[in-house]
Amino acid sequence: MTEINRRDLLRGSAAAGALALAGLPIEALAAGVQQLVVQSGALNSLDPAHQISAGDEGRVAILVSNALLRYAAGDKFDLVPDLATGYEVGDGGKTYTFKLRQDVQWHGGFGKFTARDVKWSIERILDPATKSRNAGQFKDVAGVDIVDDHTVRFRLKEPSAVFPHAVATFRGGFMMCEAAAKAQGADYGKMVIGTGPFMLEKAVLDQEIVLKRNDAYFGDKPKLEKITFRVIRESSTASLAFERGQLDLIDVNDREQTDRYAKDPKSTLMISSVTTGLYLLTFNTAKAPFDKKEVRQAFQHALNKKAIVDAVYAQRGRVVDSVVPPGVEGYTEVKSYPYNPELAKKMLADAGVKDLKCSLTVPTSYQREAVMIQAQLKQVGITLDIKLIDRPTWFRALGQSEHDIIWNAHFRAPAADAFLYPSYHSSNQPPKGTNCAFYAGVDELIDKARVTFDEKARTDLYAQALRRIAEDSPAIPLTLELNTYVTRKSVKDINVYRVPENAPVLERAYIEK
């Protein structure tokens, strides 16, 4: 269950009846149509090969398309069947054989979903000519074989215990229709043909996308007839539009809005209980004085994570100590460094560090956190220079070695390997990858876990790795920012998915008259 604001549900119920009328969008009220208008960020492409943002495009994709597996909406990131009914692992983890549902129809009369579509979808993404940005998701795949119409086998280059995440509802994992893509050609990114509970009615990318209910959906039929995603970048504009009834659901991105809507009797605030989005400070351990473990640990004691959460996120943030977020396969609790500026000062002095001046490289959207961190470090005599950069520059900086300390945000598939391998395995040190901590302390644990198929043993290996990283502190995990939405009280049964990132679960939602 999502942590929908219970206090509001209880207190607001009496008032809700009177206010529901005022809260309904005018059009919906007039026509009595079950429809929602939802704020969206930039929508560039709905083609799974070219999807950029798992948040904005992913939330449309999950309504229109299916993958072989999907992440359940719940506290854990469990993989459950979607288009596949189940799978078998063979050849010591080198082959995965999926059994497919037989009752799945493509939208728009493009026929039945079969193993051919699976093979074609994956091969299309892997084909260099497609120039897919999501090809890396299937880099372990050596080939896809059609066993029969409803059985498909993946051959992997090396055994992998974490492969099922690649064919789940995340970025490139959504299945495409061979017949439709061939019929549509280059326009495929605009009018995606899927198998999901909704289908595209209209798509003006960068403006709006209108979905209508797919009555032939193989799963539970949605109650909403129509969902419109409107692209609105400016959150102050979205906020005004929501309160005026021109939008039914908007993103909540800061503490002020959270406070405001938590108090608003006409609105329901939805906060996910977990997220795969993890924020950290990563040290450049190749640079003095960050090559000293004691200095990094002093930073751990100097930072008051709770204060950052309270100030920046309030109820939509959580303090985190492990470099793998809770709820993710492989998570374990690790030692936490209590906030203790005096101890931090002493540790710095013991390490021979005086009047430390260093810089924090941070993208503009995390200014608030940076300002808090700067003030906290000042208390222990560290002068932090905030270097603000925009996202593309930041992406590049993560694969380089110029930084002292860099802000890191990991939005990964919910598996320990996805968090550990790219960021802490020595083979991914820049310029080869984004292990911009230049850390090499847990290589053998990560490698071993990758080929350990016994779940208990694998979890154990990850636990060891997480504890060692917490001790070495190449990075300081700070916070989880929970996905948050606000909608009208009259909109019922909305949930928040874990993956794709940020997606509200709309297929069961309905508007209470």
Partner 1 sequence: MPALILKKPKALAGLLLVAVMVLLALLAPWIAPYDPLALDPAVSNQAPSAQFWLGTDFFGRDVLSRMIWGARPSLLIGFSSVAIGCLIGAAIGLAAGYFRGWVDTVLMRPVDVLLSFPIVVLALALVAALGPSLLNLILTISLLFVPRFARVVRAEAMALRELDYIDAARVAGQTPVVIIMRHVLPNALAQIIVTCTVFMANAILVEAGLSFLGVGVTPPEPSWGNMLAEGRNNILGAPWLTTFPGVMLTLTLIGFNLLGDALRDILDPRLRGLQA
Partner 2 sequence: MGILIRFLSQALPTLLGAVTILFLLLRMIPGDPAQAMLGADATAADLARLRQDLGLDQPLWVQYGVFLRSFVVGDWGNSIVTKTPALERVLEALPSTLMLCVAAIVLIIAISLPAGVVSAVRRDSWVDYGVSLVVFLLMSMPQFWLGLLLLLVLSYWLDWFPIFGAGEAGDLLSQLHHLVLPSLTLAAGFLGLVTRLTRSSMLEVLGRDYVRTARAKGLREPVVIVKHALRNALLSVVTVIGLTMGQLLGGAVIVEVVFARPGVGTMIWDAILQRDYPQVQAGVAVFAALFIATNFLTDLLYGLLNPRIRV
How many angstroms separate the CA atoms of 152 and 115, rounded? 6
Chosen from partner 1, partner 2, none, partner binding at 396 (C-beta under 5 to 8 Å by type): partner 2
Segment interacting with partner 1 (CB under 8 A) among 83-91, 194-202, 364-372, 399-407: 364-372
Other CB atoms within 10 Å distance of the CB of residue 35: 20
According to CB under 8 A, which one of 33, 72, 307, 343 is a site residue for partner 1?
A: 307
Q: Does 191 help bind partner 2 (rule: CB under 8 A)?
A: no
Q: Does 400 help bind partner 1 (rule: CB under 8 A)?
A: no
- Do residues 247 and 230 make contact, with C-beta atoms less than 8 angstroms apart? yes
How many angstroms separate the CA atoms of 387 and 449, rounded? 37
Q: Does 390 help bind partner 1 (rule: CB under 8 A)?
A: yes
- Do residues 299 and 344 make contact, with C-beta atoms less than 8 angstroms apart? yes
Please say which residue, 273 or 393, places its beta carbon nearer to partner 2.
Answer: 393
Phi, psi dihedral angles at 299 (to 5 degrees): -60, -40
Segment interacting with partner 2 (CB under 8 A) among 2-10, 263-271, 329-337, 430-438: 430-438
Chosen from partner 1, partner 2, none, partner binding at 44 (C-beta under 5 to 8 Å by type): partner 2
Q: Does 422 help bind partner 2 (rule: CB under 8 A)?
A: yes
Q: Does 371 help bind partner 1 (rule: CB under 8 A)?
A: yes
| Exposure string for 236-271, b = 16+ CB within 10 A, e = fewer | eebbebbbebebbbbbbbebebbebbbebebbbbbb
Binding characters for partner 2, 377-396, by CB under 8 A (x = yes)? ------------xxxxxxxx
Residue 13's contacts (CB-CB under 8 Å, 6 or more residues apart) are none
Cis, bond preceding 422 (omega within 30 deg of 0): no
Q: Does 319 help bind partner 1 (rule: CB under 8 A)?
A: no
Q: How far is the CB of 389 from partner 1 (least distance, A)?
A: 7
Ranges within 224-243 binding partner 1 (CB under 8 A) = 235-236, 239-240, 243
Q: Does 361 help bind partner 1 (rule: CB under 8 A)?
A: no
Q: Which residues pair with 411 in a beta bridge?
A: 277
Q: Kindly state the tokens that stand for 447.
A: 């490698």
Hey, which bits of 128-237 come out as E strands?
Answer: 141-148, 151-156, 198-204, 208-213, 226-231
Segment interacting with partner 1 (CB under 8 A) among 25-33, 123-131, 306-314, 427-435: 306-314
Please give the residue ranges that form the binding site for partner 2 (CB under 8 A): 42, 44-45, 47, 50, 52, 128, 131, 133, 135-136, 139, 186, 189, 204-208, 230-234, 236-238, 240-241, 243-244, 246, 389-396, 398-399, 409-410, 412, 422, 428, 431-434
